[in-house]
């Protein structure tokens, strides 16, 4: 039984330049941390990610949802979690503040993630394992598939998982090899050219086979120059992704993307406004065969459905600490499977939670094991920081979802 | 100069059944009230609307924005308000909580609306008059047209207003006749059949030529029965709109809408999820020539642009207390003008603010003067409640935007 709850406001200032992009000069990586305490001494920890200011609003909203769990048996909640999730996200007064987006949805993500973490801890297994042990019906029962009926009815979702179950053995070698990682911390926006070059060399030396560069400068020539530095430094065998963090309007996105074609970007990420489904479609057609990656700021499964329906997304970057937690992450992953688009999560959780989710997506859902973003800046703050060796995430073995933070001065109750 | 600010949490419980729809059984009509005090003794009042729980979150976020105005000359802010609006909505940490949606965007609406109210009060004119007295350039300077470049570049926005200026005289008769109103309070979801019939008769007696029925019942036959009661009661010369408040998924929306064709609805409002641009497009095609009305929950100009680009919207119900205030309302109205779609606002403000905006939209922008929603439940709480006579909004003549609330027990600082 869930005995009590706590919601904590955790904020971690970063070193100069770290985390900077075309919009964010001084981000403060922050978490709304939901803690669910059961009567067996377990604590489930769930995160939602913000960039500092306003994290207290998400905390207040998370408390609103978490308090509704007190006194409930977690196993019963999880048996029909999709129903609970829908009832929370449609709470009749609170939903006006979204619906299914912004502060209230981030808050629901934090509480949802705490539920999955506690569920895995109660069963003494890592989250990826718990998810793999669920039957297709049990897994789909944790999802809210409403508003997806015309593309992913419940029976199709179950069939999709059932079909993939037979070939799991072909894919579970990844547990031993580890999941490939890519490096985002090489090319932050504010890093000078020499530091950028240095970082790229170090990333390659560390074994990364892919890395990311922040673009979206006021002067596009800056983007082009930096992109060439990266390509020249890493050579032709390393994948280079560029990320504009929504800084371009559509005409700019078309123009600058075409100029970036020379460095053969593996993808162009968040070129323009995250709500602008049709602009992404026009852009994707205009720069084909270059591909778009998007989803870091997409709030829910309905918007992802629209992106997938247009066919504009080469890669979907759904983030379980932005959408409604693990539950909606899995829903979006199923949608992507249906539409044949790879899932490469944005990692507001620094990869802690997502290392579990991509293992399930690959083994249980049959998604390609492409690679998972790696951002190292908060690793000293986690109880069990993700371990990256030779460019691969090592499979986490401890119970839960690896999201427990070390209690320190950065965390306010 | 703006000397000080206050943000107040105003909540007004409603009588039984009032305000009920397919989602909301017990809404508490609530406002985030931003007050901007200048050094001349004026107070600008701006509203954002919520349904109760969480209004305090919007208040906290509004304070964040409003405090940035202290010490500034309002006239200078308004001279380039579009730039200020963009800088606030892109505030580098806070924007993560949206961007441009949810709690933070509602908060920006409240602050924005206070700016326009104070601007009009400082010039001692009603808001509609202030807007009409701005030159096309001045008006466009109050707007943020970013992410609209491919459909509404700045020069086209100015030209559109300039073109309409010459024919204003043909349209300003509306100031004398008043703006037509339609009645939403006849057909709330929880009203019993006999009360519904009674309300419809009274609405017609009062001079309304259009009224709305809430649908989206678990059993569609309930919707059909109630819709026939309304049509039979009001006869064929009254427009009847039905509003499903997002309760249907796409297959349901298609099925029930077709069954409602018999009562010849003037529009079908919010049939499904407000983020689902493509579902609305499929639905609109399937039920043609019936038309969709949407926008009550659409958060910003970018999503409206997508809706307009697909051609699925017969009517756009942008609400200035949901999108980023008067500024973004006008931006969306310009977009609608460009795409040839009528603007019929949802009135979270109970029509207080929108009575000014539709006058400007008609006279200054050349939009058809269709009708404006009327909801009477909060009229005793406003200093200058909108006056409806024989089904028409009388033109407000006092300075400002008619949003001042009477200080009472429902308003917490």
Instruction: Please write the tens of the pLDDT for every residue from B318-340.
Output: 999 999 999 999 999 999 999 99
Q: Please say if the pLDDT value at position B100 is more than 80.
A: yes
Question: Are both B117 and B178 inside the same structural domain?
Answer: no
pLDDT value at position A18? 86
Residues of B in contact with A306 (CB under 8 A): 275-278
Q: Please say if the pLDDT value at position A170 is more than 80.
A: yes
> Which tokens belong to B111?
């602050």
Rounded average pLDDT over A119-147: 98
Mean of the per-residue pLDDT values of chain B: 97
| Stretch among A258-262, B21-25, B127-131 having the lowest mean pLDDT | B21-25
| Beta carbons of A147 and B102 less than 8 Å apart | no
- Best B103, B105, B286, B294 residue to mutate vs chain A (most A CBs within 10 Å): B103
| Stretch among A95-99, A109-113, A406-410 having the lowest mean pLDDT | A406-410
Question: Are both A367 and A253 inside the same structural domain?
Answer: yes
Q: Please say if the pLDDT value at position A413 is more than 80.
A: no
pLDDT value at position B136? 98
Tell which of A71, A102, A125 closes a domain: A125
Question: Are both A101 and A180 inside the same structural domain?
Answer: no
Q: Whole domain around residue A88: which residue ranges?
A: 2-125
Q: Please say if the pLDDT value at position A388 is more than 90.
A: yes
Q: Is residue A349 in a domain?
A: yes
CB count within 10 Å of CB A8 equals 19
Nearest CA in chain A to B95: A51
The one catalytic residue among A214, A291, A362, A374 = A214
Nearest CA in chain B to A309: B278
Question: Are both A209 and A327 inside the same structural domain?
Answer: yes
Q: Please say if the pLDDT value at position A19 is more than 90.
A: no
Question: Are both A202 and A295 inside the same structural domain?
Answer: yes
pLDDT value at position A56? 98
Q: Is residue B146 in a domain?
A: no
Rounded average pLDDT over B215-229: 95
CA distance A354 to chain B (A): 20
Residues B384, B126: Cα–Cα separation, whole Å: 12
User: pLDDT tens for residues A29-42?
Assistant: 999 999 999 999 99
Are the beta carbons of B53 and A65 closer than 8 angstroms?
Answer: no
> Which H or E run includes A200?
helix A193-205
The reply to whether B362 belongs to the active site is no
| Beta carbons of A97 and B305 less than 8 Å apart | no
Q: How many Å from the N-terminal Cα to the C-terminal Cα in chain B? A: 22
Q: Please say if the pLDDT value at position A58 is more than 80.
A: yes
Question: Are both B373 and B255 inside the same structural domain?
Answer: yes
| Beta carbons of A147 and B276 less than 8 Å apart | yes
Tell which of B124, B159, B181 closes a domain: B124
| Beta carbons of B92 and A297 less than 8 Å apart | no
Rounded average pLDDT over B291-308: 98
pLDDT value at position A408? 87
Question: Are both A295 and A397 inside the same structural domain?
Answer: yes
Rounded average pLDDT over B198-206: 95
The one catalytic residue among B8, B214, B337, B374 = B214
| Beta carbons of B53 and A297 less than 8 Å apart | no
Q: Is residue A111 in a domain?
A: yes
The reply to whether A362 belongs to the active site is no
Instruction: Report the CATH number at residue A54.
Output: 3.30.390.10
Q: Is residue B134 in a domain?
A: no
pLDDT grade for A205, boundaries at 50, 70 and 90: very high
ipTM: 0.97
Q: Please say if the pLDDT value at position A117 is more than 90.
A: yes
Tell which of A93, A108, A125 closes a domain: A125
Question: Are both B114 and B198 inside the same structural domain?
Answer: no
- Best B21, B27, B102 residue to mutate vs chain A (most A CBs within 10 Å): B102
pLDDT grade for B121, boundaries at 50, 70 and 90: very high
Q: Please say if the pLDDT value at position B413 is more than 80.
A: no
Residues of B in contact with A303 (CB under 8 A): 275
Residues of B in contact with A92 (CB under 8 A): 23-27, 51
Residues of B in contact with A305 (CB under 8 A): 276, 278
Nearest CA in chain A to B63: A54
Q: In chain A, what percentage of residues exceed pLDDT 90?
A: 95
Rounded average pLDDT over A200-224: 94
pLDDT grade for A23, boundaries at 50, 70 and 90: confident
Residues B351, B357: Cα–Cα separation, whole Å: 10
Nearest to B37 by CA among B71, B86, B11, B83: B71
Question: Are both B62 and B120 inside the same structural domain?
Answer: yes
Q: Is residue B160 in a domain?
A: no
Question: Are both A354 and A227 inside the same structural domain?
Answer: yes
Q: Indicate the residue of A51, A61, A149 with minimum beta-carbon distance to B57.
A: A61
pLDDT value at position B26? 86
Rounded average pLDDT over B147-159: 98
Q: Is residue B43 in a domain?
A: yes
Nearest CA in chain B to A54: B94
Residues A111, A336: Cα–Cα separation, whole Å: 24
Q: Is residue A343 in a domain?
A: yes
pLDDT value at position B62? 98
CA distance B313 to chain A (A): 15
Question: Are both A72 and A193 inside the same structural domain?
Answer: no
Q: Domain count of chain B?
A: 2
Question: Are both B325 and B380 inside the same structural domain?
Answer: yes
Nearest to B78 by CA among B102, B35, B111: B111
Nearest CA in chain B to A59: B57
User: pLDDT tens for residues B1-45?
Assistant: 999 999 999 999 998 888 888 888 889 999 999 999 999 999 999
Three-state SS for chain B is CEEEEEEEEEEEECCCCCCCCCCCCCCEEEEEEEEEEECCCCEEEEEEEECCCCHHHHHHHHHHHHHHHCCCCHHHHHHCHHHHHHHHHCCCCHHHHCCCCHHHHHHHHHHHHHHHHHHHHHCCCEHHHHHHHCCHHHHHHCCCCCCCCCCCCHHHHHHHHHHHHCCHHHHCCHHHHCEEEEEEEEECCCCCHHHHHHHHHHHHHCCCCEEEEECCCCCHHHHHHHHHHHHHHHCCCCEEEEECCCCCCHHHHHHHHHHHHHHCCCEEECCCCCCCHHHHHHHHHHHCCCCEEECCCCCCHHHHHHHHHHCCCCEECCCCCCCCHHHHHHHHHHHHHHHCCCECCCCCCCCCCHHHHHHHHHHCCCCCCCCEEECCCCHHHECCCCCEECCEECCCCCCECCCCECCCCCEEC
For the entire predicted model, the pTM comes to 0.97
Q: In chain B, what percentage of residues exceed pLDDT 70?
A: 100
Residues of B in contact with A50 (CB under 8 A): 93, 96-97
Q: Is residue B117 in a domain?
A: yes
How big is the A-B interface in CB pairs under 8 Å?
173
Instruction: Report the CATH number at residue A275.
Output: 3.20.20.120
Give the phi and the psi of residue B323 in degrees, each rounded to 5. -75, -175
- Best B11, B31, B54 residue to mutate vs chain A (most A CBs within 10 Å): B54
């Amino acid at each position: 039984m869930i005995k009590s709850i706590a919601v904590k406001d955790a904020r971690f200032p970063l070193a100069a330049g770290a985390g900077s992009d075309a919009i964010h000069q001084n981000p403060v990586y922050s978490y709304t941390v939901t803690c669910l305490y059961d009567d067996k001494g377990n604590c489930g920890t769930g995160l939602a990610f913000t960039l500092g200011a306003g994290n207290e609003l998400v905390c207040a909203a998370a408390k609103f949802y978490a308090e509704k769990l007190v006194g409930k048996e977690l196993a019963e909640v999880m048996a029909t979690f999709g129903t609970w999730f829908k009832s929370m996200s449609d709470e009749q007064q609170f939903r006006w503040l979204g619906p299914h987006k912004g502060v209230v949805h981030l808050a629901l993500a934090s509480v949802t993630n705490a539920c999955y973490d506690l569920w895995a801890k109660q069963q003494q297994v890592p989250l990826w394992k718990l998810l793999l042990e669920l039957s297709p019906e049990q897994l789909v029962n944790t999802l809210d598939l409403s508003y997806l009926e015309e593309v992913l009815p419940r029976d199709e979702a179950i069939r999709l998982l059932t079909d993939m179950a037979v070939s799991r053995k072909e894919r579970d070698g990844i547990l031993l090899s580890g999941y490939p990682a890519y490096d985002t911390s090489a090319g932050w926006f504010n890093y000078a050219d020499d530091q950028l070059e240095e970082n790229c060399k170090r990333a390659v030396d560390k074994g990364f086979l892919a890395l990311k560069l922040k673009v979206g400068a006021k002067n596009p020539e800056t983007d082009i120059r930096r992109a060439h530095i990266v390509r020249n430094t890493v050579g032709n065998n390393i994948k280079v992704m560029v990320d504009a963090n929504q800084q371009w309007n559509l005409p700019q996105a078309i123009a600058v993307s075409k100029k970036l074609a020379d460095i053969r970007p593996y993808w162009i990420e968040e070129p323009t406004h995250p709500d602008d489904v049709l602009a992404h479609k026009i852009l994707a057609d205009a720069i084909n065969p270059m591909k778009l990656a998007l989803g870091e700021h997409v709030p829910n499964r309905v918007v992802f459905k629209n992106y997938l329906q247009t066919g504009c997304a080469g890669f979907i970057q759904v983030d379980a600490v932005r959408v409604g937690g693990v539950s909606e992450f899995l829903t979006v992953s199923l949608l992507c499977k249906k539409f044949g688009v790879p899932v490469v999560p944005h990692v507001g959780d620094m990869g802690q939670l997502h290392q579990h989710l991509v293992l399930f997506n690959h083994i249980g859902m049959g998604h390609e094991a492409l690679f998972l973003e790696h951002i190292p800046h908060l690793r000293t703050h986690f109880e069990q920081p993700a371990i990256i060796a030779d460019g691969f995430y090592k499979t986490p073995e401890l119970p839960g979802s690896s999201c427990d933070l070390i209690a320190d001065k950065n965390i306010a109750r």
